[in-house]
Structure 1
């Protein structure tokens, strides 16, 4: 039984005017055969057809076995096992097997890159996360092999449940799964046919799950004419995540970011007081901050670092300072900005290929458009641009707390440009020849 027949017979709606098609830019996608207005219901999939953990654990053949695994399987592993089990079946499960047959046989997520392709973005968050993810996959597969597959070879023949098969199943879940925050839990599912819809930033978020009616609906994220490809919006996803989980990137992605991780050692002086102050402004001791081109140095990064570097004398004044929204002291500000300056420079020096060389290779076509190398280059370019913007912002702020001539802490600004500070008249005079042109331009 074909996928559409299975879904239609089960109560799915909308398939009469939707058609799978291969598009030149996105590959396989969904075309509408009739006009659609924004927020029209495009497609409705009853919950009984969704790939979910409930469907897997209640399956009459493997449900009991999955439920009995200790320690319990993660959501991803339950879905991966369910997918691979259906894929391995020769009979039964006609509808689900029809869906599996339409799934890609391979993916272009970064875990499948060759070492040479991945090295193009070395130094980036994508590079480090991909390396960790590959190791995590190896470790998780060994656990599955030990706790499930080897104990039930009749259900999970090892020739069809290899590590490569497991990686394929995980990429299917990452690239085609939909996540919803329900009142009592996080809900993840794969919706047959709906998972063929491609991503576009030009449409509104338009997929919803109704737990009361147990159905998933796709709404039109904009107006469509007959023959146009229908899209959904995955959300504000940066390229480093798109390539890691979905296997593609968007050039000039406005949501690109660099994730800066800050943490404070539990043995640090005044640790408990600092943790309390961080929590009072909504920050955790282990926090990740998204740096973006439009906001390369968010205020909460400075707030975190100001609290992290507090002295005993300074910490007593914190309640009156609204969680370090403003400078605590010149010395505190100078210390955190110097640390940030050094961190940004170290991060940038860690990239294997410089921003300028990567841009040259992309512009010249050395990395063929759409290739893995081209995608990796775009991720590295974006992250390096963000870090350079962060470094520039840090240096601008640092110039306001250390003397431009001798580097000592100060808060006496140049009266003309207000962009640098000096210890006093002697340092200002000594630095005048170097500062003259900049000061004049800044004051214009």
Structure 2
């Protein structure tokens, strides 16, 4: 379906951190497409504002993903059979316009032919998307009702990995990053975290790790009922949990991992997002611009500042048009003029309507890039 064949608009989808979620809708002439949302921040308490990172820390991310805007365009031999496998599993064509390769970003999708604005570049049926419904009934039956969707998806990934090549999802599981390949701050060493201890990203990292540990403790009793799963460690669970929160999309049908689509890397300026067609039961991506053969095809995860990208996805952007910093003023509580100063601060500082991801205490204000 080309862009010109419907009245659908490519609306920029972003996660709605820590708030009740609503989905934007595109009304087509014959059906309805729903815009997907990246979900990582939805499963944490609101973060307090980060400060800019010292440049020496950004060196850490050069090998992790997006710090180098230009780089390799090479075949990924390990993934050569991935798309044919997925199409056999789906019993339908998913894409003839894209191939899997490696760039400076890691595993990526490239144009295999000329792509024009409005082209549908991939369609993935719901039948080959991983949702909580894929959880084995015998495991689901003994899980506590308090176990969240992210943890359920993480368990699915762990179970499939334990099955090895006998898993029906083995080619996909093998493509997911493992410990040592993930550069989110939740995997940093204590020494590395101490380098950003003055940033609120430090405390948010601590909070996120504590949440994952709590969720793991909640699923351990169920895992221990199965000899093949009782050896799963906290580190295993963290890797699977990160794969879910950094890769899953939410639509009207809930959370899902979308193989092949989640190989697309992030461009904050792109207008391409994942669209869901509940009537025809597939997810699709529409090109927002022309691509030449061999050019990497990108998608927009959302309007995220670098602090959120670092924590949720493990990379930063050198020129992030959505970057922001929140400045906190230290006004002592015993200051007789504290309330007046806070009132002046709120009155005189501009309000940023599209600030992302941070609660704004009374003694703070946000500065956005270019503002």
TM range (shorter): 0.5 to 0.7
2:39 is equivalent to residue 33 of structure 1: no
Once the two structures are superposed, the pairs formed by residues 138-149 of structure 1 within 5 Å of their partners are 138-146=213-221, 148-149=222-223
User: 2:59 maps to which residue?
Assistant: none
Change (3 A) 1:87 1:389: closer
In the aligned structure 1, how far is the partner of 2:170 from the partner of 2:187? 25
* Map 1:179-258 → 2, pairs under 5 A: 179-180=250-251, 182=252, 187-258=254-325
- Alignment map for 1:322-337 (pairs within 5 Å): 334-337=340-343
Q: Tell me if the contact between 1:125 and 1:240 (Cα under 8 Å) persists in the aligned partners.
A: no
Larger Rg: 1
Offset at residue 143 of structure 1 (A): 1.5
CA distance 1:174–1:388, shift in 2 (3 Å): closer
Question: Residues 16 and 205 (structure 1 numbering): CA distance in 2 closer, same or farther, change over 3 Å?
Answer: closer
- The reply to whether residue 63 of structure 1 matches residue 137 of structure 2 is yes
> 1:18 corresponds to which residue?
98
Task: Report what 1:104 is aligned to.
Answer: 177
Distance 1:335 1:203, change over 3 A: closer
Q: How far did residue 120 of structure 1 move?
A: 2.5
**Runs of 5+ in structure 1 lacking a partner?**
57-61, 259-290, 298-330, 342-385, 394-444
- Residue aligning to 2:248: 177
Q: How does 1:158-173 map to 2 (within 5 A)?
A: 158-159=230-231, 161-173=232-244
Which secondary structure does the structure 1 equivalent of 2:108 belong to?
strand
Deviations 1:304-358 (A, max 9, x none): xxxxxxxxxxxxxxxxxxxxxxxxxxx99834246879xxxxxxxxxxxxxxxxx
Say if 1:242 and 1:67 are closer, same or farther in 2 by CA, change over 3 A. farther
Conservation of the 8 A alpha-carbon contact between 1:11 and 1:45: no
TM-score by length of 2: 0.65
SS at match of 1:217: strand
Give 1:7's aligned residue: 86
1:22-64 deviation per Cα after TM superposition (whole angstroms, max 9, x unaligned): 11x31220111111112211111110110111222xxxxx223
Work out the number of aligned pairs and report it: 264
> Which residue does the alignment assign to 1:286?
none
Matched, 1:131 2:206: yes
Are the aligned partners of 1:46 and 1:216 in contact in 2 as well (CA < 8 Å)? yes
Query: Which runs of 5 or more structure 2 residues have no equivalent in the other structure?
Result: 1-79, 330-336, 348-363
More helix by share: 1
TM-score, normalised with respect to structure 1: 0.54
1:116 alignment counterpart? 191
Cα contact 1:53–1:79 (8 A) shared by 2: yes
What is the alpha-carbon distance in structure 1 between the residues aligned to residue 98 and residue 119 of structure 2? Answer: 13
Q: Return the offset for 1:127.
A: 1.2
- Work out whether residues 268 and 320 of structure 2, in 8 Å CA contact, stay in contact via their aligned partners in 1: no
State the shift of 1:175 in Å: 1.9
1:90 counterpart SS class: helix
After superposition, the CA RMSD in angstroms is 3.0
Partner of 1:85: 159
